[in-house]
Structure 1
């Protein structure tokens, strides 16, 4: 028996439950959440540690969600990074797939593109004939 409530706690469970409100219809969002624009280095920072993200998301807004165990990054609802959370400060966590994607994107960017062919140049006499103004000088 607990002196302050003058009863055993097990005897008061039914009374306590009758006074409780129902749970909300939407589950609570637990953990840490933020929305950021992914920088050119394709890393997001959480608690002084950096986590790599798929470089295809560079320059776009991504949603970061972290709990005690995982750090997940989503782009338009699609998972673009999933890392085990690291509690050591100053750590850099890199997914090898993100490194490979960055390497491919860098090579594509640095590969010279062929000069555009100017197919739009037309003889002005064609326009004269089309509008029936031949012989005008």
Structure 2
């Protein structure tokens, strides 16, 4: 029995929970935000500047989901204007190693994947 089948059997939900978590973690913005926050606590405006191509709306939605899932802590300081900072939780930090492993795999296999795509397109 695969680990996926084992988890699905234990949860009894046909894998819905696992798929939902993987969908959140594997979207392009989550990994970029988590990698950026690995540098340390950042304000919203700093994240907008450091995550290339992300809109303020998408950053807001992704940060809310990460906070909901316990990967990011949001701290609001009562001052004018309000200051909000984001930081990885211990669970969020535990995502760094597997994310780097996945990125390393992708980098290592780029030539093979690009060659396969080109061969597929020329068929």
Q: Which has the higher contact order (CA 8 A, sep 6+)?
A: 2
TM-score, normalisation: structure 1? 0.28
TM-score of the superposed pair, with normalisation by structure 2 = 0.30
From the two aligned structures, give the one with the greater strand fraction.
Answer: 1
Bigger radius of gyration, 1 or 2? 1
Write 1 or 2 for the structure with the bigger share of helix.
2
